[in-house]
Amino acid sequence: MALSRVCWARTALWGSVVTSGPYVNRRLQLVRYGLAWGGPRSSKLHLSPKADVKSLISYVVTKTKVINGKYHRFLGRHFPRFYILYTTFMKGLQMLWADAKKARRIKTNMWKHNIKFHQLSYREMEHLRQFRRDVTKCLFLGIISIPPFANYLVFLLMYLFPRQLLIKHFWTAKQQIDFLDIYHALRKQSHPEILCYLEKIIPLISDARLRWHVTVLCTKLQHGTHPAIHDILALRECFSNHPLGMNQLNAFQMKALSRAMLLTPYLPSFLLRHRLKAHTTVIHQLDKAMAKLGIGQLTAQEVRSACYLRGLNSTHIAEERCRTWLGEWLHISCSLKEAELSLLLHNVFLLSTNYIGTRR
């Protein structure tokens, strides 16, 4: 029986004309299938372990997004105020993390290519300056949250005192405007003190021409007139040495200028002087980099931030007026030497106090 099957299969494969029955034909088909394709294959599809992992991850991510969306809609409908705080906090964390990565990238590039701070582009310099201030402000929260269970107190303090404890990334849009107005009102309180000091030192100026220029400038400021650029630059010599040079300022004037620069005045005199010098030097370097870039290349938000840093409350002033004011500031700043930076420091008050739209 087995021998006959082999013969029939051999005959069919080699073109034999011998007629076979249906049973033999079926067997020949199986033999041909086996010879051509090997053994029969399983109909089940087996994925590789790597494909299985990717499919599982994709499924988990999709489900997480769906659940997260439902959670956000639930909070938005039932707890709208909490939802605003929650979304603001989460976005703030994302922006702070992005700032940290960018700052690290800039510092790495500086280290690799031996680049100094003043050699960076304007945007890189401004990013590092702002990030340092943000980290300094966040450092206080990190310190007070170290004791056990103190993190609950920290969250309460963050909710009650967002302006004092949180950086702008964690402020709502309304809070940003309100808090900037509050900060500007605080620094405006120092303007009368700065003007009073300038009037007091007029008799101490030996040069009659400089004494006359300071008198005219103080009179304009008292009458609400915005000083011209040449009125301020005429005082360069007066602010480079006694009595208004950086090293000749007394403690009273340095405290007033610190408040005008939104710096703490509660430090010893030598620390106040050092901090004012460092802060003014950084602004002078930023001004040079900005002049190289061009004001026209700055976005509206960058222009407003630059004006606010230099003493102008730009939150309620049109963008074009902000650009005009910033152009005046750059003209003065880029005309000054390092020994004349005391004039740039006082310019925070001189150029901003009577500018159009700043009286609120």
- The answer, as to whether pTM is greater than 0.85, is no
Average pLDDT over the chain reads: 84
Q: Could you please report the per-residue DSSP string of 221-254?
A: HHTTPPPPHHHHHTTTTTTTSTTTSTTT--HHHH
Closest residue by Cα to residue 297 from 325, 323, 321, 278? 323
CB 260 within 8 Å of CB 190 = yes
Place 50 in a pLDDT band, splitting at 50, 70 and 90.
Answer: low
**pLDDT above 90 for 42:** no
Confidence (pLDDT) at 357:
56
Whether the predicted pLDDT of 45 surpasses 50: no
Sequence-distant (≥ 6) Cβ neighbours of residue 308 within 8 angstroms: 180, 184, 314, 315
Count Cβ atoms within 10 A of the Cβ of residue 313 and give its class: 0-12 exposed, 13-18 middle, 19 or more buried: buried
Q: Residue 26: pLDDT above 60?
A: no
pLDDT tens, 260-276? 999 999 999 999 999 99
| More confident: 151 or 163 | 163
- pLDDT in the model for residue 198: 93
**20 band by pLDDT with thresholds 50, 70 and 90:** very low
Domain boundaries, the chain: 84-170, 187-350
